[in-house]
Chains A and B, each alone.
Chain A
């Protein structure tokens, strides 16, 4: 069975304290991996798409990387406004464009 697992479930950081969120996947065939940010009571906001092992994407304090088994979302010198739930999702080969989501990592960045 295809599975997407995110860890940790929750993470509390001090402002400026860099860290990484993990998304591991066990799937029949990966076509693409997505990272989204979701604020409470809002819909997910698209961050990155990764297609190949070794690929990296960056946006401001966020950097996403992909291997054959997992993806990391690195947060460098986070600020309180980075607090949100970060969702990982995959699209499978032969699965059309259906997204399968992980359960998310709830990040809180404190002053």
Chain B
């Protein structure tokens, strides 16, 4: 139980284009989903917290107009990286909260911007 999927697992795009990443909770309903990014050899940095049916809460320093988050249902959240640039290349990971505290993570999406 508590399985979270992400799609795609990896994506390569040209600079200036937008990329959408999907995060799904497969066997439970998640009122809250989270988006993280992770650079090589570093830990996870929270980007935003997403609650179903409401606007996402972004962490300080994360551009909300660049990283668009939609949480349309209890099992799906999407992250769109708009006008991507090489510095946006990273490993993006989502998580979903089954209970108030425990987060279950997706397998991650490797984004490379050329």
Seen from chain A, the residues whose Cβ lies within 8 Å of a Cβ on chain B are 31-32, 34, 36, 41-46, 49, 87, 91, 96-104
The 16 listed contacts between A and B (C-beta, < 8 Å) are A34-B101, A34-B102, A41-B91, A41-B108, A42-B108, A43-B105, A43-B107, A44-B44, A46-B103, A91-B101, A97-B32, A97-B49, A97-B101, A99-B44, A101-B44, A103-B42
* Shortest Cβ distance from residue A66 to the other chain B in the assembled complex, whole angstroms: 14
* A32 to B103 alpha-carbon distance, docked (Å): 12
Q: Whole-angstrom distance between the alpha carbons of A103 and B104 in the complex?
A: 18
The CA of A42 and the CA of B95, in the complex, are separated in Å by 12
User: Which B residues are in CB contact (< 8 Å) with A98?
Assistant: 34, 46, 49
Query: Are B43 and A101 in contact, with the CB atoms below 8 A?
Result: yes
- Given A34-B103, A99-B44, A101-B43, 19 extra CB contacts under 8 A: A34-B102, A36-B105, A41-B91, A42-B107, A43-B6, A43-B106, A43-B108, A44-B93, A46-B2, A49-B101, A97-B97, A97-B100, A99-B46, A100-B46, A101-B45, A102-B43, A103-B42, A103-B43, A104-B43
Main SS of chain B's interface residues?
strand
B7 at the interface (CB under 8 A from A): no
* 8 tightest A-B CB contacts, nearest first: A43-B105, A101-B43, A44-B105, A43-B108, A103-B43, A43-B93, A43-B107, A101-B44
Q: How far is the CA of A24 from the CA of B64 in the complex (A)?
A: 32
Q: Is the CB of A31 within 8 A of B110?
A: no
**B105 partner, pick from A41, A45, A96, A97, beta carbons under 8 A:** A45
Q: Complex Cα distance A42/B104, Å? A: 12
CB–CB A96/B49 < 8 A = yes
Contact check, B101 vs A87: say whether CB atoms are below 8 A apart.
no
